[in-house]
Amino acid sequence: MTLDRSRVWTGELNRIALEPQPRVTVGLYDTTLRDGEQTVGVVFTPEQKLDIAKTLSEAGVDRIEAGFPRVSEDDARAIELILDAGLEAEVWGFARAVRADVEALVELGVQASVIESPLSDGKLDALGVSREAMLERIRSAVSFAAEQGMRVAFFGVDCSRADLEFARTAYASAVEAGAAEVVVVDTLGIATPEGAAFLVGAIAERLDATVPVHWHGHDDFGLATAAAIAAVQAGATWVQGTVNGMGERAGNADLLEIALALEALYGIPTRLRLERARELSRLVQEYAGTPLPPWKPVTGENLFTRESGAVAAQFHDPPAIEPYASELVGATRGIVLGKKSGLDSIRIKVAELGLAVSEERYPELLAAVKRIATAKRGLVTDAEFRRLVDEQG
């Protein structure tokens, strides 16, 4: 979808600082149903996974990782349901560099999959596997999958902490064995944006220019979105992530945040329908049972809700107080009343609720609102405000 630039109010700073900027459309690869479900305590039913997959596809996500069938019968069933749904998005699977994992995907009719293997010495030592043995596992699993007609993206676990030359060799070996794409992976979220860009460039320069490079990052240091953007600027044409940033530990990169940042700040297109962002976020949040902080970028409930009286005074002019239009991400704007409200807050709320109140009463209503909000240490609800108007009428 083409972003409506008239709804983005970010000024000229970024354009001046960033030009020239790549304009290649970035593909979005969602792994909510696999990596996102690794969030502690989260279990999606096969039917919930189908609902999420349908909504992802309708929202313009290009690829959906439907799951890892060897985890459970439910995971295999979810993949079957999603494959049968006839989605516009591509349906991908997940496998380790193990022949049995690939066979399970083949049996289900999955035609594309990431195949993962650890690359860092720390991971290899923990598994008791040598570099040479792991390279052989990679070649064997990838070549078998390719022989079955499967499109493979090789996924190098903990690549960001691996010996660089070994990582480059592993990716090159996977491509030689039949991998059509590669995924550069920051498993523990340790890559700075500069590190992500360097790593993507270092891996890509060892491969044929026609091999697409993905970035898959986690958010342990709060840099997942920034690292993903840097990876794109370094040549990655696919970004992997989850809805709401779900995942192990601090979670994965949030695909919705990345899409908005790419489009609104960098002018790099994706195919995400941003107006569906909140619908998608709420669906996943409901099924996962994991509430979001109200200040979360893109999908947080507070982004377009104003309590401050100073801000309420400018509420009539969205570009003065917001970086982009609420409609861009399917949100609505509103005023709430509390300790920090002002006279303009009262005026707007009176009009919103259709109440007959003279302006002379605004100061006494504001004083009452502040008193109640302070006492309850929270907001004054619309019902409470109506009662105030009636009581002081």
pLDDT tens, residue by residue, 259-272: 999 999 999 999 99
Per DSSP, which regions of the chain are E strands? Answer: 27-30, 63-67, 90-96, 112-118, 151-157, 181-186, 213-217, 238-241, 305-306, 334-335
pLDDT score, position 23: 83
Q: How confident is the model at residue 20, as a pLDDT?
A: 83
pTM of the model: 0.94
Of 139, 140, 130, give the one whose Cα is nearest residue 175.
Answer: 139
Domain boundaries for CATH 3.20.20.70 within the chain = 5-288
Name the CATH superfamily for 5-288.
Answer: Aldolase class I (3.20.20.70)
Q: For the chain, list residues with pLDDT below 50.
A: none
**Is residue 267 helix, strand or coil?**
coil
How many Cβ atoms sit within 10 Å of the Cβ of residue 293? Answer: 10
The pairing of strands 27-30 and 238-241 is parallel
Can you give the pLDDT at residue 1? 65
pLDDT at 162: 98
Distance separating alpha carbons of residues 325 and 334, to the nearest angstrom: 13
What pLDDT was estimated at residue 380? Answer: 95
Residue from 270, 269, 332 nearest 299 by CA: 332
CB-based burial label for 28 (10 Å; 0-12, 13-18, 19+)? buried
The pLDDT value given to residue 343: 95
Distance CA 145, CA 178 (A): 8
How much is the pLDDT for 233? 95
Sequence-separated (6 or more) residues with CB below 8 Å from residue 23: 267, 268, 269
